[in-house]
Amino acid sequence: MTYAIETIGLTKQFGAYKAVNNLGLKIPEGSICGFLGKNGAGKTTTIKMLVGLAKPTNGSIFLMKTERRFGHCNNSAIGYLPDVPNFYGYMTATEYLDFCGKLYGMESKKRKSRIDELLKWVDLLGVKTLISGYSRGMKQRLGIAQALMNEPHVIILDEPISALDPIGRHEVMEIIRSLHGLVTVFFSTHILSDVESVCDYGLILEKGKVLADDSIENIKKKHSSNTAVIRLCSSVDGSRFHSLAKGRVDLTIEEKSPVEFIMRGENMQTLGRCVPSMLSEAGIALESYKAYVPSLEDIFLEVTANA
Amino acid sequence: MRSFIVFIQKEWMELVRTKKFFILLCVFALFGMLSPVTARYMQEIIIMVMGDTMPLTVAPATWIDSWGQFYSNLSQMGGICLIFLFMGCITGEKQSGSAAMTLTKNLSHTNFVTAKFATATAVFFLSLLPAALICFGYTHFLFGYAGEIINVLLSVVAYAVFMLTLLAITVLTSAISRSTTVGAILAFCGFIILSVSGYVPKIGFVLPGTLLSKTVELSFGTPYSGMIWSLIISLCISALCLYLSVLSLKRQEI
C-alpha cells in the first residue's frame, strides 16, 4: 500500500506542553481521512506541520514520499485550506483562483479551464461579486476550490465544516464526497456523523496522541468485537435475565429497554457461549442476537474517555 | 522569479483596489501644489492673519522657499503616510491568515517580502514624481524660476532614498511584529531615529537623516560632502532590513 501522508515520530512541544506527541501517521493514497479530536487535541498543529507552516520539534513528514521541511514553499503536490480561510477580499473568485494558478506556474489556457471546472464544482460559477461579500459557506467552497487548483495529490482541510450552517455543511461534505478516488483528502473535524458518512479512513487524536488509526470499518469492528445486542420476547424475561447477568463477573449488561440489552464480554466467542447457555438454563426465549456495531461517536467517546 | 512577478501583480491590484495608491498620489500631489502657493503668499497670509499694523521683517519669498516648503511638508506627512499605508503589509496578512494560504502555494518568503517592498517602492515613486513635477511647474509659474532640473532631480533622489529606507524599516517592523499596532509603533520609532541620524556627531553627515535635511540645499545646487556615502549607507540599511524581514518571516510559524 502506498501512503499519501506518512509521519514518523512527529512531535510538537510548546515549552513543557506536548501538543503533538510522537505521531506516526500512515494515510493510504486515494482515501478520505477524517482527523478527529476534541478542541485542543493537536489537530491544527499537526496540519500546520504537514503543510510546512509550523516547525516540528521532532520527527519527519513525508507527503507523497517526499520529505517536507518547515518553511519549504514547494507545495505542488498538496492543496491546503486553513480553519479560517481568508482571501483577498478585493478579488473575485475567478481572480483569486487565477492568482493561485499563476503561483503554481499553470499555463493560461489550462488555468482558465481549471477555474471554470472548479467554480462549477463548488457552485460559484457566474458569481461576479467580490470575495469580501461572500458568506462563510461560499468562502469555504472557494477554499476547497483553491486547494484543488493545482490538481494536487493530497488536499489537507482544517475543519472545513465547523463554522457552517447545516446547508453549508451539507454542500461542503458533498464536495468532499465527490473527491473520493480522485485525490487523498485529509480533513480535521469534530462532527463525527460527517466522518462516518464520507470517510473511509479515520484517525482519533487526543492530547497529541493517536488513539485510533484505521479504516472506519476496522475501527468499528475493533470496538464492536466484545459487544452484542440481545432482544428477548417479553419484559418478564428481560427482568429475569437482567438479574441473572448482573451476578456474573465475566459479563457486563446495559439495559437499552425492558426487552433489549447490550452485553459485553471478553470477546465475541465468550459472549456467544455464555449468553445462549444462560438463556437456555433459565428457559428464556431469545428473539434476536446480533453483534453490536457502535457509531463513531460511541467509539470516540469511549477512546477519549479512556485516554 | 515567476511567483515574484505574480505577487507584484497581486500587490498592485491590492494597492489600486483598496485606494491606497490614490491616497498616496493625492497627498503627495496636494503638497506639490500647495507648497509653492504657500511659499509665494506666506507674507500676505501673515498680514491677513496678524493685521498690517505689525512691523514685518519677512524677506520676499523665492523659488528656494517653495522647495523648502515642499520638502518640509513631505518629510513629515510623506513619512507618516508611508507608515500608515504599509505598516500592516505583512502583519495584516499574518493576522488574517491570507499569508498562510499564499505561502503554501510555491511562493517563497523572499519573494513575498521583496515583492511587497518593490510594489510599495513603485507606488511611492509614482506618487512622488508627479508631486515634484507639480511643485516644479507651480514654482516656475509663481516665481518665474524653479531651479536647474538636474539639481531638483538630485534633491528628489535624496528624499526618495531616505523614504525608501523608511519603507524598508516599515516592512521589517511589519515582518517581525505579531500585531499591526506594534509594527506601526516600531516603524514610527525607526522614522524618528532615521530623521535625527543626521545630527549624530562626526558620522551624522553620512547617515540617512542628512539626505532629508539637505534636500533644499541640493535643489539649488549645493551637494554636501558625504552625500554619496549617505546614499550608499541608506541603500545598505534598506537591503539589511529586507534581509532581516525575510529571515524573521522564515523562522515564524504562521
Lateral strand order in the sheet of A209-215: A78-81, A154-158, A184-189, A32-37, A201-206, A209-215
A278 DSSP β-pair partners: none
Q: Provide CATH 3.40.50.300 ranges for chain A.
A: 3-221
Distance CA B84, CA B76 (A): 12
Cβ neighbours for A48, distance < 8 A, ≥ 6 positions apart: A54, B253
| pLDDT confidence of residue A174 | 87
The DSSP call for residue B197 is: G
Tell me how crowded residue B156 is: count the other CB atoms within 10 A of its CB: 24
| pLDDT confidence of residue B134 | 96
For residue A87, which residues of chain B lie inside 8 Å, CB to CB?
98, 101
Distance CA B186, CA B62 (A): 38
Residue to test with chain A: of B101, B109, B116, most A Cβ within 10 A: B101
**Amino acid (1-letter code) at residue B93:** E
For residue A85, which residues of chain B lie inside 8 Å, CB to CB?
97, 101
**Amino acid (1-letter code) at residue A43:** K
Distance CA A186, CA A152 (A): 12
Q: What is the pLDDT of residues B99-117, one digit of tens each?
A: 999 999 989 999 999 999 9
Distance CA A125, CA A90 (A): 18
Size of interface A-B (CB pairs under 8 A): 72
Distance CA B104, CA B254 (A): 11
Q: What is the mean pLDDT of each run of 10 residues along chain A (307 residues)?
A: 90 90 90 89 92 92 88 80 91 96 94 94 90 91 92 92 82 87 90 85 85 83 79 89 85 88 84 86 88 79 74
Q: Provide CATH 3.30.70.250 ranges for chain A.
A: 225-306
**Amino acid (1-letter code) at residue A290:** K
| pLDDT confidence of residue A192 | 82
Per-residue confidence band for B32, with pLDDT thresholds at 50, 70 and 90? very high
Question: A53, B2: Cβ pair inside 8 Å?
Answer: no
Per-residue confidence band for B14, with pLDDT thresholds at 50, 70 and 90? very high
Q: What is the pLDDT of residues B185-225, one digit of tens each?
A: 999 999 999 999 988 988 888 899 988 888 888 888 777 77
| pLDDT confidence of residue B141 | 93
Residue A85 sits at the chain B interface (C-beta within 8 Å): yes
CA distance A147 to chain B (A): 9
**Amino acid (1-letter code) at residue B201:** P
Question: B102, A82: Cβ pair inside 8 Å?
Answer: no
Is residue A49 within 8 Å of residue A61, measured between CB atoms? yes
Distance CA A215, CA A202 (A): 6
Cell triple for residue B211?
539626505
| pLDDT confidence of residue B58 | 66
Average pLDDT rounded to a whole number, residues B66-85: 93
Of B3, B14, B253, the CB nearest to A103: B3
From the options 3.30.1340.10, 3.40.50.2000, 1.10.3720.10, 3.40.50.300, give the CATH code of A3-221.
Answer: 3.40.50.300
Q: Which helix (H) or strand (E) holds B114?
A: helix B109-143
User: Helical H runs in chain A?
Assistant: 43-50, 93-103, 108-121, 136-148, 166-178, 192-198, 216-224, 235-246, 268-282, 296-306
For residue B18, which residues of chain A lie inside 8 Å, CB to CB?
90
Cβ neighbours for A265, distance < 8 A, ≥ 6 positions apart: A226, A228, A250, A251, A252, A271, A274
How far, CA to CA in Å, does A141 sit from each of A32, A87, A125, A222?
17, 12, 11, 35
Is residue B72 within 8 Å of residue B215, measured between CB atoms? no
Residue to test with chain B: of A50, A68, A76, A102, most B Cβ within 10 A: A102
Is residue A150 within 8 Å of residue A100, measured between CB atoms? yes
Cell triple for residue A135?
458568506
Distance CA B121, CA B24 (A): 12
Average pLDDT rounded to a whole number, residues B4-20: 95
Question: B250, A73: Cβ pair inside 8 Å?
Answer: no
Burial class of residue A114 (count of CB atoms within 10 Å of its CB; 0-12, 13-18, 19+): buried
For residue B109, which residues of chain A lie inside 8 Å, CB to CB?
71, 73
Distance CA B44, CA A243 (A): 109
More confident residue, A210 or B123: B123
How far, CA to CA in Å, does B68 sit from each of B135, B176, B196?
11, 35, 18
- pTM of the predicted structure, to 2 decimals: 0.84
Chain-centroid distance, C-alpha B40? 25
ipTM of the complex: 0.87
CA distance A87 to chain B (A): 6
A215 DSSP β-pair partners: A201
Residue B185 sits at the chain A interface (C-beta within 8 Å): no
Is residue A229 within 8 Å of residue A290, measured between CB atoms? yes
| pLDDT confidence of residue A266 | 82
Is residue A204 within 8 Å of residue A303, measured between CB atoms? yes
A23 DSSP β-pair partners: A10
**Amino acid (1-letter code) at residue B14:** E
Cβ neighbours for B1, distance < 8 A, ≥ 6 positions apart: none
3 state DSSP class of B164? helix
Owner of C-alpha cell 507648497? B35
Residue B96 sits at the chain A interface (C-beta within 8 Å): yes
At how many degrees (to 10) do helices A108-121 and A136-148 cross? 140
Q: What is the pLDDT of residues A98-107, one digit of tens each?
A: 999 999 999 9
Residue A150 sits at the chain B interface (C-beta within 8 Å): yes
Distance CA A241, CA A256 (A): 13
Residue B103 sits at the chain A interface (C-beta within 8 Å): yes
Per-residue confidence band for B56, with pLDDT thresholds at 50, 70 and 90? low
**Pairing verdict, β A184-189 and A32-37:** parallel
Of A48, A95, A146, the CB nearest to B253: A48
Is the domain spanning A225-306 CATH 3.30.70.20? The answer is no
Per-residue confidence band for B53, with pLDDT thresholds at 50, 70 and 90? low
